[in-house]
Amino acid sequence: MRDKIKELLLESIQVKEDLLHTRIGPIIEITNLIIECIKKGGKVILFGNGGSASDSQHIAAEFVGKFEKDRNALPAIALTTNTAILTSLSNDYGYEIVFSRQIEGLGQKNDIAVGISTSGKARNVAAGIKQAKKMGLKTVALTGGDGGELVKLADVSLMVPSSVTARIQEAHITIGHIICELVEQALC
């Protein structure tokens, strides 16, 4: 068991080292888009399925609550928290539109849509990004593996260099925390 724990920790460290050497540019680009969005009165709209839904909620909470500083709330929302909306849309239209329909109703000109999918293949996340682009919102994709369809759709895509879901999710929350800290420093 000790060897397995070491192996898993080293695997996680390796993914983050790969991010350090190959993905700083997209992290800066995403951070700048979010800063610009908030300065213009927009909000950050986050969404994903499963663990990515949890990451969306976690990151939104860091913006609205606080990350490191006591400060005014920053505008962010996770599209994964309203069970009445999620279940009624799924029942009436199908699960594929749960994010695109919410973006249609809630998205505004200066907002940014952040779709999170470990594989990049989640059809409902891709549909959300497509709807956001149709409405003129800036779009970001956080993915892993080969990035799937999602990596090609967003204005800025950050593909975690791993095909292991757990390592991708660990990297996504690390990236989210980095972005939150940088946005907080820039705006507060």
* Domain CATH number, residue 74: 3.40.50.10490
Confidence of residue 55 (pLDDT cuts 50, 70, 90): very high
Give the residue numbers spanning the domain of 165: 2-187
pLDDT at site 184: 96
- Going by C-alpha positions, the residue among 184, 20, 47, 16 that lies closest to residue 116 is 47
pTM, two decimals, is 0.96
The number of domains in the chain is: 1
Confidence of residue 122 (pLDDT cuts 50, 70, 90): very high
pLDDT at site 74: 98
SS3 assignment for 123-166 = HHHHHHHHHHHHCCCEEEEEEECCCCCHHHHCCEEEEECCCCHH
Region 129-149: mean pLDDT is 97
Positive or negative: CA dihedral 55, 56, 57, 59 = positive
